[in-house]
């Protein structure tokens, strides 16, 4: 067996997920202090901020994926990775049930993994609010597979719309691209899609030019609620120029294979229900709890009042537990569910765990020294030990002095199409709100610098150049 057994002198630290939270933890964790086990159905990290660009082929999806094997192999001590889904966490028994749900299964595809310490970083699911038809007919935008499915569907709609003798109504329906949810995901996707049409599709398939239309549907009075008022206005104005329709105060209630039913509130307060035909429906209405998280919450009495995720304390410990931590979208710590928060939380936990290991090491040394102290005679040797103990105690106090997690908001950024972006940046003196083409260059360079690796950075730049020179690839894979 070439897989070393876990070292019995070390604690087993199990980390669930390979997203923003877990990967940022792994990046900074001194793995030699623990038996580290990573479990995730996805053997790569995904740079989600550029995922909307993959739906139109501005960026190829592999350019924003980084295999976990690639960075785990550079860690000081070996880390075990199991490509599997955690189906249940048994808090009492301190085990995680895991399931290999990929296509190829061996003799063993379900098992349990025991833990001493557990980090839950499984992210969130797509919210549908139980609206009928969403899962059957809508497409989400969260994972690589989602972006691929959207890219395929866009092309399918375009090709079907140009099928011989297609009726005018059907052409209109097929080329109506509806995005539900005016948060950043919906806005960025709508912008990317309109770019695709303006820059490539209308040239490659001139027949569709008169009928291709993007509509963004939002239940609230405006889109991008987390941005400042002038940026919301700027976004709405830019969308108008780009000819993307925004339907605010419009709540989708039902989805069928060919139309959505939405209730809109008129200025006089009256409500009307209308059917909106669509060819492509992208559903981006935010996050919901994953079943494995919901199940864990039910096992811990202190979590019974928490609704949106695992309630954590200021050290990201899941309330009501001692040895379970949570990061990212599945944790509720009064911050928005963003990559920025998740990655800072992950980095915080790495520091915490590194320090915990150091504390334990010093405490063991102290125990050993006080033992020694009793054995040596008075005088020089004893004084030396005494001095060592003093020094160690000082170090211990320093190490133990780790403050709680504090989030530092760097700002919000979103691409809104036609080479424009909006940014609310926290500046030394206050806030800076900007929108436009300069912001777009800032957006590009900021996201590029945030990419996981140099490899990713190079691939993304090459994709941008490729799309500029040759146009986006319209083959339907």
| Residue 44 structure tokens | 């790569």
421 binds ligand NAD (CB under 6 A): no
Q: What is the rounded CA–CA span in Å between residue 450 and residue 442?
A: 12
H or E element: which one contains 400? helix 380-400
Q: What is the rounded CA–CA span in Å between residue 25 and residue 106?
A: 30
Which span sits near ligand NAD by CB under 6 A: 20-28, 78-86, 335-343, 396-404? Answer: 335-343
413 binds ligand NAD (CB under 6 A): yes
**Nearest to ligand NAD of 14, 232 (CB atom):** 232
Which span sits near ligand NAD by CB under 6 A: 99-107, 166-174, 180-188, 316-324? Answer: 180-188
Give CA torsion, residues 298, 304, 308, 312, to 10 deg: -100
What does 218 bind: ligand FAD, ligand NAD, none (CB cut-off 5 to 8 Å by kind)?
ligand NAD
Q: What is the rounded CA–CA span in Å between residue 156 and residue 278?
A: 13
Q: Considering the complex, what minimum distance in angstroms separates the CB of residue 341 from ligand FAD?
A: 7
**Nearest to ligand FAD of 111, 370 (CB atom):** 111
Which span sits near ligand NAD by CB under 6 A: 23-31, 158-166, 196-204, 410-418? Answer: 410-418
| Close Cβ partners of 447 (under 8 Å, ≥ 6 residues apart) | 49, 50, 413
Task: Classify burial at 63, counting beta carbons within 10 Å of its beta carbon; exposed 0-12, middle 13-18, buried 19 or more.
Answer: buried
**Nearest to ligand NAD of 219, 347 (CB atom):** 219
337 binds ligand NAD (CB under 6 A): yes
Q: What is the largest CA-CA distance in the chain?
A: 104
Sign of CA dihedral 375, 380, 381, 387: positive
- Rounded to 5 degrees, what angle do the CA atoms 182, 41, 447 make? 45
**Nearest to ligand FAD of 282, 300 (CB atom):** 282
| Residue 451 structure tokens | 């990419």
Q: Identify whether the C-beta of residue 320 lies closer than 8 Å to the C-beta of residue 158.
A: no
DSSP output for 11-32: -EEEEE--SHHHHHHHHH--GG
CA separation (Å) from 159 to 80, 146, 150? Answer: 46, 20, 14
- Lookup result for tokens 């160690």: 392
**Nearest to ligand NAD of 181, 346 (CB atom):** 181
Q: Considering the complex, what minimum distance in angstroms separates the CB of residue 157 from ligand FAD?
A: 21
User: For strand 280-283 and strand 287-288, is the pairing parallel, antiparallel, or unpaired?
Assistant: unpaired
Q: Identify whether the C-beta of residue 52 lies closer than 8 Å to the C-beta of residue 192.
A: yes
338 binds ligand NAD (CB under 6 A): yes
Q: Considering the complex, what minimum distance in angstroms separates the CB of residue 223 from ligand NAD?
A: 7
Q: Considering the complex, what minimum distance in angstroms separates the CB of residue 180 from ligand FAD?
A: 14
Q: Considering the complex, what minimum distance in angstroms separates the CB of residue 294 from ligand FAD?
A: 11
Q: Considering the complex, what minimum distance in angstroms separates the CB of residue 241 from ligand NAD?
A: 20
x-or-dash string of contact with ligand NAD, 72-101, rule CB under 6 A: ------------------------------
Give the bridge partners for 91, in sequence order. Answer: none
Q: Contacting ligand NAD (CB under 6 A), which of 185, 194, 354, 439?
A: 185
Q: Which residue is nearest to ligand FAD (CB)?
A: 19
Q: Which residues ranging from 349 to 408 are in contact with ligand NAD (CB under 6 A)?
A: none
Q: Which residues ranging from 267 to 326 are in contact with ligand NAD (CB under 6 A)?
A: 284-287
Q: Which of 202, 198, 216, 125 is nearest to 419 (CA)?
A: 198
Q: Considering the complex, what minimum distance in angstroms separates the CB of residue 65 from ligand FAD?
A: 11
What does 40 bind: ligand NAD, ligand FAD, none (CB cut-off 5 to 8 Å by kind)?
ligand FAD
CA separation (Å) from 388 to 338, 366, 397? Answer: 46, 9, 14
What does 19 bind: ligand FAD, ligand NAD, none (CB cut-off 5 to 8 Å by kind)?
ligand FAD
Q: Considering the complex, what minimum distance in angstroms separates the CB of residue 436 from ligand FAD?
A: 18
Q: Considering the complex, what minimum distance in angstroms separates the CB of residue 296 from ligand NAD?
A: 22
Binding site for ligand NAD (CB under 6 A): 49, 129, 131, 180-186, 188, 217-220, 225-226, 251-252, 284-287, 336-338, 412-414
């Amino acid at each position: 067996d070439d897989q070393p057994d876990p070292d019995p002198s070390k604690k087993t630290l199990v980390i669930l997920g390979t997203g923003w939270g877990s990967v940022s933890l792994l990046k900074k964790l001194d793995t030699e202090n623990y038996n580290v086990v990573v479990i995730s159905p996805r053997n790569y990290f995904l740079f989600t901020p550029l995922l909307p660009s993959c739906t139109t082929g501005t960026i190829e999806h592999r350019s924003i994926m980084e295999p976990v094997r690639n960075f785990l192999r550079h860690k000081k001590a070996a880390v075990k990775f199991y490509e599997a889904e955690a189906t249940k966490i048994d808090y009492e028994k301190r085990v995680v049930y895991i399931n290999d749900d990929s296509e190829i299964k061996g003799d063993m595809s379900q098992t349990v993994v025991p833990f001493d310490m557990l980090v839950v970083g499984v992210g969130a699911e797509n919210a549908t609010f139980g609206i009928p038809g969403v899962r059957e007919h809508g497409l989400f935008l969260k994972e690589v597979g989602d972006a691929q499915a959207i890219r395929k569907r866009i092309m399918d709609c375009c090709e079907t719309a140009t099928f011989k003798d297609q009726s005018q109504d059907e052409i209109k329906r097929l080329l109506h691209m509806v995005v539900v949810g005016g948060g950043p995901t919906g806005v960025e996707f709508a912008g990317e899609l309109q770019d695709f049409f303006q820059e490539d599709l209308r040239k490659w398939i001139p027949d569709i030019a008169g009928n291709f239309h993007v509509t963004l549907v939002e239940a609230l009075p405006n889109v991008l609620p987390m941005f400042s008022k002038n940026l919301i206005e700027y976004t709405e104005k830019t969308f108008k120029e780009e000819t993307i329709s925004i339907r605010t105060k419009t709540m989708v209630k039902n989805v069928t294979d060919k139309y959505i039913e939405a209730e809109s509130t008129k200025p006089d307060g009256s409500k009307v229900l209308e059917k909106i035909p669509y060819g492509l429906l992208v559903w981006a209405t935010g996050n919901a709890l994953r079943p494995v998280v919901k199940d864990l919450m039910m096992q811990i009495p202190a979590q019974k009042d928490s609704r949106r995720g695992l309630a954590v304390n200021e050290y990201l410990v899941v309330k009501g537990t001692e040895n379970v931590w949570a990061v990212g979208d599945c944790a509720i710590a009064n911050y928005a569910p963003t990559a920025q928060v998740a990655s800072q939380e992950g980095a915080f936990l790495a520091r915490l765990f590194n320090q915990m290991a150091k504390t334990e090491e010093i405490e063991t040394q102290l125990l050993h020294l006080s033992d020694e102290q009793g054995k040596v005679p008075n005088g020089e040797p004893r004084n030396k030990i005494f001095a060592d103990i003093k020094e160690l105690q000082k170090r211990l106090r320093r190490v133990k002095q780790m403050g709680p997690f504090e989030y530092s908001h760097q700002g919000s950024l979103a691409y809104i199409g036609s080479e424009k972006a909006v940014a609310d940046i926290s500046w030394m003196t206050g806030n800076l709100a900007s929108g436009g083409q300069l912001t777009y260059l800032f957006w590009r360079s900021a996201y590029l610098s945030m990419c996981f690796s140099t490899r990713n950075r190079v691939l993304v730049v090459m994709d941008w150049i490729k799309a500029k020179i040759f146009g986006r690839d319209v083959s339907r894979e």
